[in-house]
Structures are given as structure tokens and as C-alpha cells.
């Protein structure tokens, strides 16, 4: 069993990491899980709470310490059954309001300029949309994007950039460590490293008069804006940062 198996049943990447670490021990304290998973303690605490809400984890108080326990794996089926019931109910509710939404859309002629996508699937949808472009600009590449989307996703994405001859220009955060994606070895991807004091807390992708701002939180989101003026503003910002950043291919 690995992260992918758990993600296929609806856990996010960090929930899967915490749950896998706990099942390999049976029970553990939060501190032990932080050490085992190797992420910030807040990520472990947030995701252990989510696993408790899903019924996959419980806890006992041992003296002054709280010890978390992986429940009988049968509860996974119970969890999925509850999800199915909830989805069925949401489909019923959606079917009731679809006619109202359709009528509302029919009264608006303007083009929607901003969209919010949530979760890993939302992030991947936006990144796959960038592959339709001939040129991409990226501000603030971080290791969080690799942790959340996986190195396999990025290897496949970068391979498509190469195979489809897409020009990509990436401003990498100073703190970024490319250990698994081979980013710096792809010919048609230009990279520069941002000055340390200009490390970005979000990642911004610019393409085809669109701007996407990625937030790699426990529940990741991306905001996509489609507007020529906003695109030009962010592109000018990219050009300025490019001029003052270091080329990693030059000694």
C-alpha cells in the first residue's frame, strides 16, 4: 500500500502520509508522527483531525499524552459508504437548482474573468490547461508543489513541455531543491533563481492572457484570472524579476 492507493479512496496526499505512518505503528503520539512523516507539525495536526472526522483514527489519553490509534480497516468501507450517501444527496440538490443556474447564465453576456479551483484535481486541471499554450511564465516555483502534486506528476508535465516544444520560463524560489523532477536539465525550460529575500509564498503561472495564483495549503486552491490587463501587469512583474535573478546554468 502506498500514498496513491489511499488517494484513490479520497484521502489527500498529507492525510495519506499521516495515515500510512500511523498504520505502520498501530498507535503513535503526534510528535512521533511528525518525526515519521517529516513535515511541519501543523500539517500533521490538521490532517490527523481530518482522519478522526472520517472515522479512520481515534485516540486515547496516556498520562499527559494523546496517543492516536489506527482504527479497524473496515471503517474505510464505512467512510466510503457515507461519502456515497452524501454525494447522492448533493446530486439531488444540484438537480433542483440547475434550472435556476441555467436561467441566470442566460441573462449574463459578459465573460467570467475569475475562477477558483480547489484540491489536487483542481490544481492539475489548471496545470494541464497551461500545456495548451506555446509559452508559459512561472513565478515562485516551490517544493510544496512537488509534495502536493507528486514528483511523478511533475516528471510527466515536464516531459510534455519538452515533447510539445513549449517554451517555459521559471523563476524558482531560492529555497527550492530540485531532487526528483530534473527541471534544470530540460532544454526548452529556462530557469532563474529568485533572490533569497524575494521568495514567493504563492506560485503564479502566466499564459494565454491568463494568470493563475496557486496556494499550496493543506486544502490547496488556485485562482485563475482571464484578463488581458492583468496578464500584462503580471508579465511585466515577471520581466522585472527575471532581470534581477540568477541563472543557475551559469557558474
Say yes or no: 230 and 135 in one domain: yes
| 80 belongs to a structural domain | no
249 has a pLDDT exceeding 70? no
Task: Identify the band that residue 111 occupies on the pLDDT scale cut at 50, 70 and 90.
Answer: low
Closest CA to 52 of 41, 67, 64: 67
Mean pLDDT, rounded, for 90-103: 74
pLDDT single digits (tens) 202-245: 999 999 999 999 998 888 999 999 888 899 999 999 999 999 99
Say yes or no: 61 and 149 in one domain: no
Among the residue ranges 16-30, 82-96, 195-209, the one predicted with the least confidence is: 82-96
| 106 belongs to a structural domain | no
Give the number of other CB atoms < 10 A from CB of residue 70.
Answer: 20
pLDDT single digits (tens) 170-209: 999 888 887 666 666 778 889 999 998 888 889 999 999 9
- Residue ranges making up the domain that contains 15: 3-70
CA distance 166 to 52: 44
Q: What is the mean pLDDT of the chain?
A: 85
- What share of the chain has pLDDT > 90, as a percent? 30
DSSP letters for 20-87 = HHHHTTSEEEHHHHHHHHTS-HHHHHHHHHHHHHTTSEEEEEETTEEEEEEPPTTHHHHHHHHHHHHH
Domain count across the chain: 2
Q: Could you tell me the CATH number of the domain that includes residue 60?
A: 1.10.10.10
Say yes or no: 237 and 121 in one domain: yes
Amino acid at each position: 500500500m502506498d500514498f496513491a492507493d489511499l488517494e484513490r479512496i479520497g484521502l489527500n496526499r498529507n492525510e495519506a502520509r499521516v495515515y500510512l505512518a500511523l498504520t505502520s505503528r498501530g498507535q503513535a503520539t503526534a510528535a512521533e508522527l511528525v518525526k515519521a512523516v517529516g513535515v511541519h507539525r501543523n500539517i500533521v495536526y490538521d490532517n490527523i483531525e481530518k482522519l478522526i472526522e472520517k472515522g479512520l483514527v481515534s485516540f486515547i489519553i496516556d498520562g499527559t499524552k494523546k496517543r492516536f490509534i489506527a482504527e479497524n480497516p473496515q471503517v474505510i468501507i464505512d467512510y466510503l459508504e457515507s461519502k456515497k450517501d452524501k454525494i447522492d444527496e448533493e446530486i439531488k440538490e444540484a438537480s433542483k437548482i440547475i434550472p435556476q443556474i441555467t436561467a441566470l447564465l442566460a441573462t449574463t453576456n459578459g465573460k467570467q474573468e475569475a475562477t477558483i479551483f480547489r484540491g489536487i484535481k483542481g490544481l492539475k486541471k489548471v496545470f494541464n490547461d497551461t500545456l495548451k499554450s506555446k509559452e508559459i511564465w512561472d513565478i515562485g516555483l516551490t517544493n510544496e508543489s512537488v509534495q502536493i502534486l507528486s514528483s511523478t506528476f511533475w516528471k510527466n508535465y515536464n516531459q510534455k513541455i519538452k515533447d510539445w516544444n513549449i517554451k517555459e520560463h521559471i523563476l524558482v524560489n531560492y529555497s527550492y531543491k530540485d531532487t526528483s523532477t530534473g527541471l534544470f536539465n530540460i532544454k526548452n525550460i529556462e530557469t532563474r533563481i529568485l533572490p533569497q529575500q524575494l521568495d514567493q509564498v504563492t506560485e503564479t503561472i502566466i499564459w494565454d492572457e491568463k494568470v493563475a495564483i496557486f496556494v499550496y495549503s493543506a486544502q490547496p486552491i488556485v485562482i485563475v484570472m482571464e484578463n488581458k490587463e492583468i496578464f500584462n501587469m503580471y508579465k511585466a512583474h515577471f520581466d522585472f524579476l527575471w532581470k534581477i535573478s540568477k541563472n543557475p546554468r551559469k557558474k
